[in-house]
Chain A
Amino acid sequence: KAGVTQTPRYLIKTRGQQVTLSCSPISGHRSVSWYQQTPGQGLQFLFEYFSETQRNKGNFPGRFSGRQFSNSRSEMNVSTLELGDSALYLCASSLMGLAGGTDTQYFGPGTRLTVL
Chain B
Amino acid sequence: AQKITQTQPGMFVQEKEAVTLDCTYDTSDPSYGLFWYKQPSSGEMIFLIYQGSYDQQNATEGRYSLNFQKARKSANLVISASQLGDSAMYFCAMREGNTGGFKTIFGAGTRLFVKA
A: which residues have CB within 8 A of B? 31, 33, 35, 42-43, 45, 48, 55-56, 58, 88, 90, 92, 97, 99-110, 112
The distance in angstroms between the C-alpha atoms of A76 and B91, with both chains bound, is: 24
Cα A92 to Cα B99 with chains together (Å):
17
Contact size class for B?
Answer: 20 to 34
For the residues of A in contact with B, the DSSP-based class is: strand
Do A101 and B106 form a contact, CB below 8 Å, given A106-B47, A109-B44, A110-B44? Answer: no
Instruction: Answer yes or no: B64 CB below 8 A from chain A CBs.
Output: no
CA distance A92 to B46 in the complex (A): 11
- A-B pairs, top 5 by smallest CB distance, nearest first, are A101-B95, A56-B101, A101-B33, A100-B31, A107-B45
25 interchain pairs (CB within 8 A)? A35-B104, A42-B106, A43-B91, A43-B106, A45-B105, A48-B101, A48-B103, A55-B99, A56-B101, A88-B43, A90-B45, A97-B99, A97-B102, A99-B31, A100-B31, A100-B32, A100-B96, A101-B97, A101-B102, A104-B33, A104-B47, A104-B50, A106-B47, A109-B44, A110-B43
